[in-house]
Amino acid sequence: MAQERKIDKVILGLLCHEDLSGYDIKKRMDGAVSFFWKGSFGNIYPALKDLENSALITKTDSSVGGRERSVYHITDAGRDALKEWLCDEQASNELRYETLLKLFFSSGAGREVSIRNIELFEKQTARDLEILKTCCRSLENAQDNEDHIYYYLTASFGVETYEVYLRWCKKAKKILRATPHNSIAESS
Amino acid sequence: MAQERKIDKVILGLLCHEDLSGYDIKKRMDGAVSFFWKGSFGNIYPALKDLENSALITKTDSSVGGRERSVYHITDAGRDALKEWLCDEQASNELRYETLLKLFFSSGAGREVSIRNIELFEKQTARDLEILKTCCRSLENAQDNEDHIYYYLTASFGVETYEVYLRWCKKAKKILRATPHNSIAESS
DNA sequence: TGGCTCATGTAATCTGTTACATGATTCT
DNA sequence: AGAATCATGTAACAGATTACATGAGCCA
């Protein structure tokens, strides 16, 4: 297990709770996890194969009729690997926001362009926030399960940061509209 | 220019203001840009070569003595390419936070582990926040330059989100310490 | 003299994305 | 019948990380 591939951990984490197929894993990843981690089929299926070869998961054929379906189950070694990762103090936290990158270099295109870019970001954030809020509310009312507290905490991280994003958008637009600026940059 | 490689835009954006060497570009990227975009030499040098081949930048040798140094300059075509990107409505904004990923799957390791992981995140965030705050303050007092308003806005995005991160850390730790939980998950 | 910073680049490797290929089932 | 969804996988490509290789200048 010299591999540090994050998709492996996501798969192990999901399988820790229930047996799933590759397709199921994709669906889970498109859900509540998606705002801080993404995956694709071209990513998931090879990882499942590797994890099976490393004996961290086992594969069981559960095809119904002619439709093929392989369900994966985590092994004890898999649980150990997951726990080892959880206990490892290293964690890479990366923000890759093209909107901020554009804003940083926006003097080349003028204020109208930067305001529009902020508005696009604002709209997307508002949409995502609604989804996260719904998610958060349903988790608040289901604290019976030990897992739910962790789901709630991650979702609430999303809600709180997205709310700040929206406040920042308003502030940024206000500043860009209010302060004086030379019109040369604008007209070029 | 069918390429969508972000490192190209970062280089063009930086060269828009001043002529720089590959080494300089790396230094700039390690500065204020680093919290929302990262780069490495193995990334920058090949990109510089490609951009030169596409005539978006030009290379000038400015070696001093035996120490080699190549300085790059943006062309008009380069400025056009940068502007085209700035005006393009598409923007990919991705958060890849391993800390959140771990937290989401933390029921496998228990509360003590998750609290420690949050504390590690908290410490790193506090460190980064101080750097961003300093950056933000110096930009507030230098609004003479049109570029500075954009630098300020991106830095203030960082400051505001990091402050929320810290508030969330406190809340999360409190919840994890306060609510009752079964000790089986803890002892396993 | 030794260590740090300046300075450029390559190569191996890893990882992810996208598109493609295939085919069954279910719903309207 | 046709569209959407279920379901698995591969191949080509893109992009980034890491380590490596090299060497000069500067400072203590």
| pLDDT one-digit tens code per residue, B117-132 | 999 999 999 999 999 9
- What's the mean pLDDT in B89-99? 95
- Statement to judge: residues A112 and A158 lie in one domain: yes
> Is B92 inside any structural domain?
no
Distance in Å, residue A163 CA to nucleotide D27 C1': 51
pTM above 0.95, yes or no: no
- Statement to judge: residues B54 and B76 lie in one domain: yes
> Is B129 inside any structural domain?
yes
A residues 26-65 lying closer than 8 A (beta carbon) to B: 32-33, 35-38
Last residue of a domain, one of B58, B87, B116: B87
Contacts of A154 (CB under 8 A, 6+ apart): A32, A36, B100, B103, B104
- Statement to judge: residues B117 and B143 lie in one domain: yes
Q: Which residues does chain B have within 8 Å of residue A143's beta carbon, measured at their own beta carbons?
A: 179
Last residue of a domain, one of A34, A61, A87: A87
| pLDDT one-digit tens code per residue, A1-44 | 335 799 999 999 999 999 999 999 999 999 989 999 999 999 99
> Is B93 inside any structural domain?
no
Q: What is the pLDDT of residue A142?
A: 74
Of B79, B163, B101, which is closest to residue B129 (Cα–Cα)? B163
Task: Read off the pLDDT band of B181 (50, 70, 90).
Answer: low
Name which of B32, B95, B172 is nearest A153 (Cβ-Cβ): B172
Asked if pLDDT for residue B31 goes beyond 50, the answer is yes
Name which of A99, A109, A179 is nearest B83 (Cβ-Cβ): A109
Q: Which residue is nearest to nucleotide C13 (CA to C1')?
A: A3
N-term to C-term CA, chain A:
55
User: What letter would DSSP give residue A4?
Assistant: -
Q: Which helix (H) or strand (E) holds A77?
A: helix A76-87
- What's the mean pLDDT in A170-178? 96
- Statement to judge: residues B161 and B108 lie in one domain: yes
> Is A92 inside any structural domain?
no
- Statement to judge: residues B70 and B42 lie in one domain: yes
- Statement to judge: residues B183 and B102 lie in one domain: yes
> Is A93 inside any structural domain?
no
Q: How far is CA A130 from the centre of its chain?
A: 15
How far apart (Å, rounded) are the C-alpha atoms in residues A75 and A86? 17
- Domain interval for residue A46: 6-87
- Statement to judge: residues A107 and A182 lie in one domain: yes
Task: Read off the pLDDT band of A106 (50, 70, 90).
Answer: very high
- Statement to judge: residues B36 and B64 lie in one domain: yes
Strands (E), chain A: 20-21, 57-61, 70-74, 93-97
How far apart (Å, rounded) are the C-alpha atoms in residues A153 and B11? 38
- Statement to judge: residues A69 and A108 lie in one domain: no
Sign of the four-CA dihedral B34, B132, A102, B61: negative
The answer to whether A176 and B141 are in contact (CB under 8 A) is no
- What's the mean pLDDT in B19-31? 96
Task: Read off the pLDDT band of A160 (50, 70, 90).
Answer: very high
Distance in Å, residue B93 CA to nucleotide D3 C1': 32
- Statement to judge: residues B64 and B102 lie in one domain: no
**Alpha-carbon gap: A150 to the closest alpha carbon of chain B (Å):** 5
Structure tokens that stand for B118 in this block: 């949050």
Sign of the four-CA dihedral B166, B171, B175, B177: positive
Asked if pLDDT for residue A122 goes beyond 80, the answer is yes
Last residue of a domain, one of B87, B112, B139: B87
- Please state the domain count of chain A: 2
| B164 contacts A164? CB cut-off 8 A | yes
For residue B19, CA distances in Å to B1, B25, B144 come to 22, 10, 22
